[in-house]
Copies of this chain bind each other. A is one copy, B any other.
């Protein structure tokens, strides 16, 4: 385990109030059970807290910030398999070692559980197991979409799909956020590693979209989507 340090609170307080968090399915009366197993950690930007291949000792529940999950090849090539937002659950491995690494993009708060105690919890709270199955199913759908993207979409289609995904991410379905304003805490390098492209191609594609009047690229990590329709045409494989 890398970066197991970081500030630690006595108890995972935030995740009991987050909707969709793992802890939120526990009945209020049983919260004390949770206090025995859950510890909150604050992970600074860039710090890794799950190392690919290391013994899988803990489960995590993200309560704030953004986490990048990735796999790497021996020569350093990296594929980011997903960005985990608050409510997301990490470390659901059947194997006894982690199949992926995890690193904080910005400042991240996670709720940490030991795996063996988690097993006990699962036995006692069937709702929790149902919730995990639901989460895993959703991730599977996302993974299949990403395979289609990585295997068959062009660079422009990938970036368009990514921006559209980011607009809907973390929002209840059927809501379009705040007028296309996106924050995107990750670097161009992270986006490239997520989309199976290079930094240069991501940058060029964003520049091209700006020239087409589809987006505005602001300072820092701000991007504003000006035309969802144009991006949707692109992402679907037309345009």
Contacts and interface: CB of A to CB of B under 8 A. Distances in A.
Interface of A: 69, 71-75, 77-79, 81, 92-95, 99-100, 122, 126, 129-130, 132-134, 136-141, 143-148, 150-153, 193, 195-196, 236-238
Number of copies: 2
Listed residue (A78, A99, A137, A195) with the most chain B CB atoms within 10 angstroms of its CB: A137
A186 to B, nearest CB: 15
A122 B127 CA distance: 12
A74 B152 contact: no
Contacts of A134: 94
Given A100-B144, A143-B143, 6 more contacts: A73-B237, A74-B236, A75-B237, A99-B144, A122-B130, A140-B143
A156 to B, nearest CB: 13
A79 B143 CA distance: 12
Give the 9 A-B residue pairs with the shortest CB-CB distance, closest first: A151-B196, A143-B143, A150-B150, A136-B136, A79-B148, A79-B151, A73-B237, A77-B152, A71-B148
A234 B133 CA distance: 35
A202 to B, nearest CB: 13
Given A79-B151, A92-B137, A133-B136, A71 B144 contact: yes
Contacts of A133: 92, 129, 132-133, 136
A236 B143 contact: no
A143 B144 contact: yes
17 contacts: A69-B144, A71-B145, A73-B148, A73-B152, A77-B153, A93-B141, A94-B134, A94-B138, A94-B141, A129-B130, A136-B137, A139-B140, A140-B140, A143-B144, A150-B151, A150-B196, A151-B195
A139 B138 CA distance: 12
Contacts of A196: 150-152
A74 B148 CA distance: 12
A221 B152 CA distance: 25
